[in-house]
Amino acid sequence: MTIDVISFTDTQFAMLTAEQLLEVKEAQVKKNELLAECAKKLQNEKHRLVKNGVYYSPRYTLLKNKLEAEYQEKIDLLREGLLFYLRYSMRPDATVTPDVNAPYQVDYSLSYEERYVIVKNYYEATYETQAEQFEAFKLDKVAPQYLGELYAPLYDYFKP
């Protein structure tokens, strides 16, 4: 099973407990069920419209957009609930003291997007090449916990 309900790196998944991994798996199963339910409803609507001879009208597109938006909202709520659970059930890493080990500003009152920008700007300003940025970022022990789910996209960004 592919886990795509949240975007964590392998390192971040390795830091999760068995209970947290079970929550991630359950959320992924629920997401897959929601997507399957949406696809089934769309298929039923398509058959109904074809039977009535109005499939090529804009009606199917409107129904499809409405139904997909409705299910995407449910998936987003599921994802946010999982992230909330993970954020507050993570065991703090005793080896990480953000004030000492982080070469950039560490402020947990900032949003994750603001943290992302601070970390990204630090590595881009400090290291010249993408390879140097990536190597330094990989060694950062604060970033996975500090950036949360946004660690994986930044990891991919720096990856040469």
Instruction: Judge whether residue 97 has pLDDT over 60.
Output: no
pLDDT digits over 106-125, tens only? Answer: 888 888 899 999 999 999 99
Instruction: Write out pLDDT tens, residues 11-41.
Output: 888 888 889 999 999 999 999 999 999 999 9
Confidence band, pLDDT 50/70/90 cuts, at residue 92: low
Which of 33-47, 86-100, 130-144 is the most confident on average? 33-47
What is the value of pTM for the model shown?
0.66
- SS3 category, 1: coil
Structure tokens of 89? 């059930």
Cα(110)–Cα(112) distance, integer angstroms: 6
Q: Which amino acid is at 86?
A: L
Q: Where are the domains of the chain?
A: 10-89, 98-158
Backbone φ, ψ for residue 27 (5° rounding)? -65, -40
Alpha-carbon distance of 116 to 97, in angstroms, equals 19
Would the pLDDT of 9 be above 90?
A: no
Tokens of 7: 């975007």
